[in-house]
Structure 1
């Protein structure tokens, strides 16, 4: 069993294995959406977006739905955990507040990762490569939304920077 015999799953998109056709990635993204597996949907659409050619309207919408839902559930989780953390602090339950704080930090890490991934896709490929005005507006609004999401859970200078970036995207 050498390293050349490693079996690689064919249905998992990865920049290392982009051999799956665009059509198959789009189909799997739709299937993932029906199964409410939005992280996987986002991965399939990331592969499509990284392929280099401009996304069609349907593909653009699939990308948007995938990331919106992947982030949406975590934003809801963050709000709940933050609320629990504050309640525990106000009740004087320092141990529980610390545990909730650690959990909130974990959710923030996931949010940062997902938002960072879609922002990189948008800013390094999709926005510069947008041919028509409609697609550029769509992508700029998406970028503004993800910076706004980052601003929701960030503090201090990071919050200000994310809010300013969101405003700039919306103004563009």
Structure 2
């Protein structure tokens, strides 16, 4: 799918889905493994067993594999400018984003960028001036840009818009430690979708 993304043509709905699924499956399996290893490492640490070192070493291998995959998809979207000091909207893009003409396509791809920046925050140091802070900012800016487009150009019941709201709320909850903002965002998306569905039923 990486080769398809570099062909210089706008991705179709099916190609976008396959492009996303290919990376999601690869990264998702490793994220699950990383969580399991992290829990196991903590358990072994409490027991004081020497196997902890082996678990830690294997977890580091998984982390590196996740980083490689995440940066690969981010590079396909933004030409290696992840964590650039330039604002997200001013960075040069790859072949993928400039060819996205429809609102749904733009929202989908900017959301994708936000998702993989968010995944990377799980493994980077949390120092205020470190890479974690820059990745969090990149994720926020990606989600915000996608949200602005979605709110203006997509109906509240659109699956891509709803998926964006869900992931943006997860970002607020897990990365920015802002449960109130996360709940407000998710509730607003839910209420807007219900209202739109009620209006459709009334029109019928």
Structures share fold, TM-score greater than 0.5: yes
Counterparts of 1:70-85 in structure 2, within 5 Å, are 70-85=26-41
Q: CA deviation at 1:153?
A: 2.2
Q: What's 1:63 paired with?
A: 19
SS at match of 1:51: coil
Counterparts of 1:10-159 in structure 2, within 5 Å, are 45-93=1-49, 95-123=50-78, 124-156=94-126, 157-159=130-132
Q: CA deviation at 1:161?
A: 2.0
SS at match of 1:153: coil
Following TM superposition, where does structure 1 have runs of at least 4 consecutive aligned residues deviating by more than 4 angstroms? none
What is the distance in 1 between the residues matched to 2:73 and 2:66? 11
Q: CA deviation at 1:138?
A: 0.5
Q: CA deviation at 1:125?
A: 2.4
Number of equivalenced pairs? 127
Q: CA deviation at 1:154?
A: 2.0
Alignment RMSD (CA, Å): 1.2
What is the distance in 2 between the residues matched to 1:137 and 1:168? 12
What is the distance in 1 between the residues matched to 2:48 and 2:114? 38
What is the distance in 2 between the residues matched to 1:92 and 1:158? 32
Comparing 74-83 with 117-126, greater Cα deviation is found at 117-126
SS at match of 1:72: helix
SS at match of 2:96: helix
Q: CA deviation at 1:135?
A: 0.9
What is the distance in 2 between the residues matched to 1:160 and 1:81? 25
What is the distance in 2 between the residues matched to 1:113 and 1:50? 18
TM-score by length of 2: 0.60
Q: CA deviation at 1:128?
A: 2.7
Note the residue ranges of structure 2 that are not aligned, 5 or more in a row: 79-93, 146-204
Q: What's 1:167 paired with?
A: 140
What is the distance in 1 between the residues matched to 2:21 and 2:12? 14
What is the distance in 2 between the residues matched to 1:138 and 1:46? 16
